Structure formats: structure tokens, C-alpha cells
Amino acid sequence: MTSTTQTFSNPPPLHVFLSGRVDGISVDMSSSWRHEAASLLTPHGCHIYDPTRVILAAEGDYQPRPNEVLTNDRRQLNLTDVLLVNLDLPTHIASHDAPFFTIGEMFLAHARELPVITFGTCFRGRPGYEAVVTRSFDQLAQAVDYILLHYLPCASTS
């Protein structure tokens, strides 16, 4: 009887972009859910892109300029496998409070054929939302579980 040896290669890490409102709210508020998401994803080997990290690491009251944000978003989306979006917002929001960059990130990710996974109910049922969102959940933990089940690479045998 011959014996065969199986070796397992390490799959590439899953890159998850954490999208959600930053402008118009405190950096603590905009980063707290991202820290929670990272704590759920990183034990599984996921690499996280958190746009608030630059603001948190900066000295003083640094606020990135809009063209910096868009340029960085496009670059990071090119390196991303899944977009996780926080849409846990009030049901009705004034247009000046709309998460403009978050919505833009969703459309950019969709154009790149990336999965767009959301939690929160804001915009649910709207045609543009339904056209670009892969799957939506009420809670962050549900969205993370879905990402891990459906998009986390498995070790392959060779």
C-alpha cells in the first residue's frame, strides 16, 4: 500500500474594508464599531482596513481633505475582497447628514464586483441600495458571521 502525503498551503488572507460614516460624528463614535468588527474578524486571519486609523493616529485635530479620502478609498478598494458597511443610522436623515463617502464606497465596490455586506436598516428597500448590496443584516455580528462563512478562504490541499 502506498502512502500519500497531503500538504496544506496557507490561503491568502481575506481583506475587509470597514465602511461607515466618519464625517459629522466623533472619531470615537465612528471607530468604535470598527474596533468591534476587527475583534471579530482578525482572529480568523482577516486583514482589516479601518479608515479611522489615520485620524486616531494623527496629532491634534487632523481631518483628511475630501480628495485624500476618495483617493485612499479607491486605492484600498483595489486591495479589498469584501466591503462591510455600517448603515445603522436613523431611518430619516437630513441630506446634509447623509454618509456621502459611505454611499460612494458602496457604489465603487459594486463597480469592482466586490461583495457589499451591510448591517443596519437605513436605505433598505431603496432601489439603489437593493441594486448594489449583496446581503444585509440587522446586526454587525450577523454580517461578520456571513462574511466568514461565505468569503473566508479555506486551506487547500496539494
Identify the band that residue 112 occupies on the pLDDT scale cut at 50, 70 and 90.
Answer: very high
Backbone phi, psi, residue 80, to 5°: -100, 150
> What class has domain 11-153?
alpha beta
Identify the band that residue 7 occupies on the pLDDT scale cut at 50, 70 and 90.
Answer: very low
Residue that wins the pLDDT comparison between 54 and 77: 77
CA–CA dist 121, 43 (Å, integer): 27
- The reported pTM is 0.86
State mean pLDDT over 123-135. 90
Identify the band that residue 18 occupies on the pLDDT scale cut at 50, 70 and 90.
Answer: very high
Residue with cell 487547500: 156
- pLDDT for residue 92 is more than 70: no
**51, 25, 69, 16: CA torsion to nearest 10:** 30
Residue 16's identity, in one-letter code, is: V
